[in-house]
Amino acid sequence: MGYGLSAAGRVRHGAAAALCCALCWSAAAAPVEGLRRDEALEPARAALRTLQFDKALALLDTAGRGGNADADYLLGLMYLNGVGVAPDAAKARALLGEAAGRGQGAAAYVLAALRSTDRGGAAAAERWLRRSAALGYPLAIQSLRAHRPLLDRETVGATDPTLRGPWVFDSVRRDDVATLRRIGRPSATVRDPFGRTALAHAAEDGTVDAARALLALGADVGAVDKVGTTPLMIAAARPDAAITDLLLGHGARTQTADAAGRTALFYAARADSAANVAALAQAHAKLDARDAKGYNALDTALAVGATAAAAELRSLGLHATHAIAAEAGASGKFDPAHPGVIYRGWPPLALAVVRDDAPTVERLLAAGGNANLRLPQGGSLLQVAADAHAYASLKLLLAHGADAAAANPAGHGVLWLAVMRGDDALVKALLAAGLRPDARAAAERAPLVAAVQARHAAIASMLLAAGASTESVDARGRTPLMLACANGDSALVADLLDHHAKVDAVDREGRTALWYAAAVGSADEAKQLLVAGANPRVADLRGVTPLHAAAAQTDAAVIAPLLAAKAPLNSRDAHGDTPLMIAAAMGRTDVVKALLAHTPDLDARDHAGDTALIAASRGGHAGICGLLVRAGANGALRDGAGVDAHDVAKGRGFAAVVAALSKP
């Protein structure tokens, strides 16, 4: 039993001739009636395309009761696979039987596939297959002629273009990774009527696990829709940066522009998503990119009142191009080389500061001058001194009680701005003048966090030497040590560890610094952390351990130190996946080899019933299938849909995988 037909069911010459006659008759059948039947289903198809499943079910039910076989076929697939409705296998078979009885060839083919999995169902499967072929269904004809296996149970419904898209998009919206994996590669390639892929839908819905699964299935991270929008642009408009980080980690390009010339940074700016602005900047997005109208991202933020994004962009050194007059008064920056209008109304103390006239500044402060004086533009004297690099005045202002945490009109303090601009000399001068290394405005991240995120390692080291706290965190709860590991900066990691950074602190997703080092394949950083006592067994909130994270990388170097430190080789994440399953599914040959050297559980199953061998087979990874078979993986095991690795490979036409599975 299985997906293949018995010897008695093979096509003979006479049967083939009869089949050709049947096909000729089918091609000549009344096209007008078929057109009417198709038009009757258009409202239901439109409801499916817009994911209005209740409406689609009602319309299909009405059409089916009226004798429309295509309606019964689609309804049967929906109930079979639980697309927008609770799965009901009995009802599905009844509907498919009705459709096949009315001449729907695809329904007969699905019934053949279903009956082939029933005990003693081979004969019935053969009858339905011949019925489907006689009705002209191409897959049935191919199966008979080539003696190929029937439709894999796991892709039932995914072959129908009407249902495939809605099924995938609904699964993405529900973050249903198991279903996306069952559908397989079509999940990664399907598009909606606007040209958006499932990955773009995941970016919009914020379903991180679905996005990760689609990428593993081969989704194009740079795919564009009809107006040039990429998944990264859509993700950038979200309030958090989780999917943005995921896409960037898979090679999404920050410089790609849509039809209006806008990059992902523009989308983040318009949505007032400071988190995504920071993530894109850290990925080296071009800050001064212009759209088709000549505007930059800061112009876009200012135009819609996106204050948080505007502040983040300003902190990165970006200036508005179409709001120059307004920005001059709010930037807090002053030019001592051009006295005149810009300094109109300034008190003597401010003028002395901007010139760095230390004797005058000291005299005025001693006479009662206010070190926390605010200028008409809103900036503080301390900010004036910082912008003018008036280091002597800086020291005097701080000595007379200037508030180091005072924010400028954009909400930023003097040290944070110096850090984000990468102004080493100013940071050094501020610290030397007595400014605390953790001084910041209320709405800011700690300067050390900002320095690490901006990859200003020299400044980060200055702050550490001055006593900055290593326990400060960003909006996602990540410490400087985690961020340095994610950046692959081993020198800074060593510096942080020397300053007693906590190695096993966890962020809001339960991830440690070791997790981040493993997730980017940083073997050097992983070794440093393990020597410092990092625990390789800590899993994040989704059950993903550092070894799971490392298994997804192309470089296997980080695997050895983790396993040497007793990282759990067969641990399961929230989906039941082991590190070996992840590496096998993603085609990481070197990682699979490294894991096999430590004798992992070859036949462990995830929640969908997949083994590492089935996962590798589904992805077409012949080399990995060969490695697993030679290591002793059981090729006869079947997943939750009743198929084994050989069935999957043969059904998908992966000849190299079939060959690898057949070798002793």
Interval 49-77 mean pLDDT: 83
Average pLDDT, the chain: 83
- Residues 280, 268: contact at Cβ < 8 Å? yes
Q: Which residues pair with 638 in a beta bridge?
A: 644
Q: Looking at residue 48, what DSSP letter applies?
A: H
Amino acid 344: pLDDT: 61
Q: How far apart are CA 585 and CA 570, in angstroms?
A: 16
Interval 14-23 mean pLDDT: 27
The overall longest dimension of the chain from CA atoms, in Å, is 113
pLDDT band at 594 (very low <50, low <70, confident <90, very high): very high
Amino acid 159: pLDDT: 58
**Cα-based distances in Å from 275 to 152, 201, 237, 271, 453:** 43, 20, 10, 11, 12
Amino acid 152: pLDDT: 55
In Å, how far from its chain's centre is CA 316?
A: 25
Tell me the backbone φ, ψ of residue 414, rounded to 5 degrees. -65, -40
Amino acid 184: pLDDT: 82
Q: Is the pLDDT of residue 4 over 70?
A: no
Interval 408-437 mean pLDDT: 87
In the chain, % of residues over pLDDT 70: 87
pLDDT digits (tens, 9 = 90+) for 344-361: 678 899 889 888 999 999
Higher per-residue pLDDT: 448 or 168: 448
Q: How far apart are CA 444 and CA 521, in angstroms?
A: 30
Amino acid identity, position 369: G
Interval 61-87 mean pLDDT: 83
Amino acid 230: pLDDT: 95
Residue 324, C-beta contacts closer than 8 angstroms, at least 6 positions apart: none
pLDDT digits (tens, 9 = 90+) for 243-284: 999 999 999 999 999 988 999 999 999 999 999 999 999 888
Amino acid 343: pLDDT: 61
Amino acid 495: pLDDT: 96
Instruction: Count how many Cα atoms sit within 13 Å of the Cα of residue 220 in the half-sphere of its side chain.
Output: 13
pLDDT digits (tens, 9 = 90+) for 635-658: 999 988 788 999 888 877 889 999
Q: How far apart are CA 55 and CA 51, in angstroms?
A: 9
Interaxial angle between packed helices 161-173 and 208-216, expressed in degrees from 0 to 180 and rounded to the nearest 10: 130
Q: Which two tokens stand for residue 536?
A: 């390789």
Amino acid 664: pLDDT: 65
Amino acid 15: pLDDT: 25
Interval 428-449 mean pLDDT: 89
In Å, how far from its chain's centre is CA 98?
A: 42
Q: In terms of Cα–Cα distance, which of 535, 519, 459 is closest to 495? A: 459
Q: What share of the chain is helix, strand, coil (3-state, %, to 5)?
A: 55, 0, 45
**Cα-based distances in Å from 587 to 28, 289, 624:** 47, 36, 7
Amino acid 31: pLDDT: 35
Amino acid 171: pLDDT: 84
Amino acid 119: pLDDT: 79
Q: Which two tokens stand for residue 641?
A: 């849909």
**Coil, helix or strand at residue 407:** coil
Q: How far apart are CA 604 and CA 602, in angstroms?
A: 6
Q: Is the pLDDT of residue 91 over 60?
A: yes
Q: How far apart are CA 226 and CA 154, in angstroms?
A: 31
Q: Is the pLDDT of residue 21 over 70?
A: no
pLDDT digits (tens, 9 = 90+) for 556-591: 999 999 999 999 999 999 889 999 999 999 899 999
Q: Which two tokens stand for residue 324?
A: 């120059």
Q: How far apart are CA 533 and CA 529, in angstroms?
A: 6
Q: Is the pLDDT of residue 5 over 60?
A: no
Q: What is the pTM of this model?
A: 0.55
pLDDT digits (tens, 9 = 90+) for 601-631: 999 999 889 999 999 998 899 999 999 999 9
Amino acid identity, position 477: G
